[in-house]
Structure 1
Amino acid sequence: MSRPPSEVQEHPAEVSSHPGVSRWFRLALVGVSVGALAVVGLRGRLPDPGEFIAALAGAGYGWVAVAALLQVVSLAAFAFQQQRLLDNLGVRLRVRRLMAITLARSALSISLPAGAAVSTGYAIREYQKAGVSRRIGAASAVVSGLASIGGLTLLYVVGGAGVLARDPDTYLSWRPLVVVAALAGITTAGIVLGRWFSARPRRTPAGPSAGAVRDSRAGRLVIRLLGSARGAWQAGAGLRVRDWAVALAYAAVNWLTDLLCLAAATRALGLPVGVTTLAGIYLGVQIVRQVPLTPGGVGVVETALVAGLTASGATAISAAAAVLIYRLISCWLIIPAGGLAAIALRRATTTRPE
C-alpha cells in the first residue's frame, strides 16, 4: 500500500531537519575516514598478527593504566595552561569547559589534514562563544604555540643537563642539540619581536598606492588579517615574564607526561630501552611529525617509533605492540572522546538561556 503524497514529502524533511542525526553522521564519517587512513598508513608495517596479539595479551596492564593516567595529565596540563593564559589576558573560563575544548581540538588536530590550523581556529571560535574576544583568543593561541616550542626546549635542556651531571662521559648527539637551539631561538625571537612591535607607534600607510590597496576587497582583507595578527601577537608578547614562565612550565609538563606515557607503554611490554634513549627517539618523532604528510602523523609516527625502538634493542613485535598501546591512548581514543566533547559543547551553547 503506497503512502499519501503528503507523507512521502514530509518524511525526508523530518529526518534532514533533525540536528542530532546530522551531528552523529558527521562524527561517524570522521571516524570511518580516520580508520581508513590508519589501515592504509600501517599496512605492511606490523608483524605477524598472531604473535602481535600474543604480545599484547602478555602486556603489563598496570603500566597501561599508568600510561592512560599520564595522558590525561598531559591534556589537563594544556587545559590549565589555557586557563592561566586567558586569565592573564583578562578573561576567566572554567577548567571543565577548557578541558572539553582541549579534547575537541585535539581530535581535530589528529584526524584532519592541516589539523593544527583547523584546531586553532576551532578553539578561537569556542572561546568567542564563551565571551572571549577574537583578539584575546588569537593571542592565547600565539602564546600557547610559542610556549609549546619553549616547553619542549626546556624539557630537553634540563634533561640533557641532568644526564651530563650524572655521567659527564655520556655521549649526546649534536643533532638534537641543534634542533633544541633552533627551537629556543624561534621562541625567543617571537617574544622579542612582539615586544618590539608593541613599543612602536602604529603608522597608517600613506600615498595613492596605499589608498588603492585599502579600497580593494583583497587589500582590506589582508589589512584586517594583518591587524588581527599584530594585535594578538602584541597582546601575547605584553604578558609578564612570570606569566610566560608559567605557560612554559605547563607546556613542559604537557610534553613530559606524553613522553612518560610512551615510557609506560614500553615498560608494559618489557622493552630494554632506557628513558634517555627513549627521550631521543621521542624528540626525533616530534620533528618528523611536524611535516604534515598524513593527518596526525598516521603511519609516519608509528613507523618512526618502531624503527627507533628496534634500533635500541627491542624486537619488532614488542616494539609494535608498545607503539600501538601508546598511539591508542595518545591518539586514537582521543578522537571519539573529542567528538563527544564537541557535541557536549554544542549542546551547551544551543541550550544556554538568552
Structure 2
Amino acid sequence: MMNGARQRRVIVTVLSGTLTTALVVFLPRAVGATWSAVGAVLGQLSFGSVAVLAVVWIAGLWSHSFVLAASLPGLSKRRGLTLSLTGSAVANVLPLGGAAGTALNFAMIRRWGFSSTAFGGFLAVTTLVNVASKLGVIAVALGLVPILHSMSVFGAESLLFVPVPLVALVAVWILVDERVAVGIGSGLDKAIGLVRPSRLRERIPRHRTSMLRVLRAGWRAMAAGMVAYLGLQFALLWLCFQALGIPLSLPVLLTGLAVERLLTLVPVTPGGAGVVEVGTSAALVSLGGDPAGVAAGLLLFRGFTYLMEIPVGGVLLAIWSWLQRRTPSQSNQLDSVAG
C-alpha cells in the first residue's frame, strides 16, 4: 500500500496531467477555433522553416548559457547548456517539477566538483536574473498599453502574480542593504524557530555577500546573455507566425510574449503547459489575431520552447548518467562531451 506522501504525489500527477491535457485539447475552442482549422494552418509549415526555427531556438539556449556560466564561476557554457536542458526536461514533465529539476542540477553541479554553497549562490542569482528578465518584458508590454489598448490582456487575474515582483523587490533590497538582510534573517529565525531551529540571520548575509561577488564579476555577461536570449525568443515567436503566414504586428507579439512570461512565473502545470497556450492565445486573439492562426502559431512556438526541451534534455541526461557509471578516469575524460 502506498504511503501518504506517495499517494499525494500520484494524485497531484494525475490531476496535473488531466488539467494539462484538457487545456491543450480545448485550446482551439477556448479562442473560437477548431482543431481542423488549426491543423490546416500548421499544414502550411515547410521543412526549411522548421530548420530556421530550430537554429533560432538553439541560438537562444546558447545565449542563456552565458547567463548560467557567469552565475557560477568555473562553469563552462556547455555545462550551463546541459544544466538548462536537463533541468527543463524534468520540470516540463513532472507536476511542480521545478524542485525535481533543481535537485537534478544540484547533483550535476556537485559531480562537477562545485560546493553546495556555490550551488546555492548560483540558484539564487539565476532565479533573480530570470524573474527580473520576465518582469522587464512585462514592463515593456505595459508601456505599449496606451498604443494597443491592451490593458484587458493583463486583467484582474494578473493580481495573482503580484507576490512574485514583491519577492524580487525584497531580494534586491537585501542585496542593496546588509542591515535588511540581517533584519529579515532575524525575523525568519523567530518565525521558523517556533517549529525548528533556524540560522538565517547568519546565512542570508553570507549568501548576500556571495551573490554580490558573483554579480559584480559577471553582470556584463549576464546582461548580454539575457538580452540576447530574450531577443531570440521574440524572434522565434515572430518567425513562428511568419512561417505560418499569420500577420501580427511586433507590438502585439511583444505583448503576447509578455503574457507568456507572466504565465510562466508560477507554473500551475508542468512547464505551464496548457495554461500558457490558452492564456497567451486568448490575449493575442483579443488584440485582433485570427483564432486558428494564433492557436497554431502559439503551438508551434511552444513546440520549441517547451516540448523540444523534453527529448533533447532527456538525451543529454541519459548521456550524463551513462558517463557517471564509468570509472572516474574515463568519466573525467568524457564528461566534457555532455557538459
Shorter-chain TM range is 0.7 to 0.9
Partner residue in 2 for 1:277: 252
1:249 to 1:279, Cα distance in 2 relative to 1, 3 A: same
The alpha-carbon distance between structure 1 residues 43 and 154, as it changes in their structure 2 partners (threshold 3 A), is closer
Partner of 2:333: none
8 Å Cα contact 1:108/1:335 also seen in 2: yes
Going from structure 1 to structure 2, the CA distance change for 1:303 and 1:126 (only over 3 Å counts) comes to: same
Q: Which residue of 1 is the match for residue 241 of structure 2? A: 266
Residue 172 (structure 2) aligns with: 191
Given that 1:74 and 1:257 are in contact with CA atoms closer than 8 Å, whether structure 2 keeps it comes out as yes
Q: Match of 1:107?
A: 89
2:67 paired residue among 71, 78, 81:
81
Quote how far apart the aligned CAs of 1:115 are: 2.4
Question: How big is each residue's C-alpha offset from its partner over 1:157-186, in whole Å with a ceiling of 9 and x where there is no partner?
Answer: 67888x89xxxx84676787x999998776
Please give the alpha-carbon distance, in whole angstroms, between the structure 1 residues aligned to 2:20 and 2:221.
36
Q: Find the partner of 2:275 among 300, 303, 306.
A: 300
- Residue in 2 that maps onto 1:334: 309
Distance 1:285 1:158 in 2: 14
Q: 1:200 to 1:185 in 2, by over 3 A?
A: closer
The reply to whether residue 351 of structure 1 matches residue 326 of structure 2 is yes
Structure 1: give runs of 5+ residues left out of the alignment: 1-31
Q: Given that residues 113 and 292 in structure 1 are in contact (C-alpha distance below 8 angstroms), is that contact kept between their aligned partners in structure 2?
A: no
**Contact 1:124/1:137, CA 8 A, preserved across alignment:** yes
Corresponding position: 1:121 with 2:98: no
Flag the 1:301–1:194 CA change in 2: closer, same or farther, 3 A: same
- Distance (whole Å) between structure 2 residues aligned to residue 173 and residue 247 of structure 1: 31
Distance 1:193-1:246 versus aligned 2 partners, 3 A rule: same
Q: For the residues of structure 2 that align with 1:337 and 1:182, how far apart are their CA atoms?
A: 33
Contact kept? 2:87, 2:105, Cα under 8 Å: yes
| Residue 131 (structure 1) aligns with | 113
Q: What CA distance in whole angstroms lies between the structure 1 residues aligned with 2:106 and 2:204? A: 13
Contact persistence 1:147–1:187 (CA under 8 A): no
Offset at 1:245?
A: 3.9
Aligned counterpart in structure 1 of residue 40 of structure 2, from 40, 48, 54? 54
Q: 1:134 deviation in Å?
A: 0.8
1:219 is aligned to 2:200: no
Q: Is the 8 A contact 2:256 2:283 kept in 1?
A: yes
Counterpart residue identity of residue 305, structure 2: S
Contact 2:91-2:271 at 8 Å conserved across structures: yes
The answer as to 2:207 corresponding to 1:232 is yes
In the other structure, the counterpart of 2:123 is 141
Cα separation, 2, equivalents of 1:76 and 1:63 = 20
Q: How far, CA to CA, are the matches of 1:123 and 1:338 in structure 2?
A: 12
Q: In 2, are the aligned partners of 1:111 and 1:335 still within 8 Å (CA)? A: yes
| Cα distance in 1 between the residues matched to 2:206 and 2:35 | 54
For residue 324 of structure 1, what is the amino acid of its counterpart?
Answer: L
8 Å contact from structure 2 (residues 96, 270) kept in 1: yes
Q: Deviations over 1:26-49 (max 9, x none)?
A: xxxxxx999876533322323544
- CA 1:33–1:189 in structure 2 vs 1: closer, same or farther (change >3 Å)? closer
Paired AA for residue 65 in structure 1: A
Deviations 1:50-88 (A, max 9, x none): 43333212125444333222221222122221112212x
Change (3 A) 1:346 1:184: same
Change (3 A) 1:83 1:240: closer
Q: TM-score, normalised by structure 2?
A: 0.74
Residue type of the partner of 1:345? W
**How much does 1:200 deviate?**
8.0
Q: 1:157 to 1:327 in 2, by over 3 A?
A: closer
The structure number with the bigger radius of gyration is: 1
CA apart distance, 1:338: 1.1
| TM value normalised by structure 1 | 0.71
TM-superposed CA distance for 1:339, in Å, is 1.2
Percent of residue pairs identical: 20
State whether residues 63 and 267 of structure 1, in contact with CA within 8 Å, keep that contact through their aligned partners in structure 2.
Answer: no
Distance in 2 between the 1:183 and 1:292 partners?
A: 12
Change beyond 3 A, Cα 1:181–1:154? farther
The unaligned stretches of length 5 or more in structure 2 are: 1-13, 330-339
Distance of 2:326 and 2:223 partners within structure 1: 36
Distance in 1 separating the partners of 2:67 and 2:328: 29
Q: Structure 1 pair 35/321, CA: closer, same or farther in 2 (3 Å)?
A: farther
Q: Which of 228-237 and 251-260 deviates more?
A: 228-237
RMSD: 3.9
Distance 1:94 1:198 in 2: 34
Question: Which residue does the alignment assign to 2:52?
Answer: 66
- 193-202 vs 262-271, greater mean Cα deviation: 193-202
Answer yes or no: is the 8 Å Cα contact 2:95–2:269 preserved in 1: yes
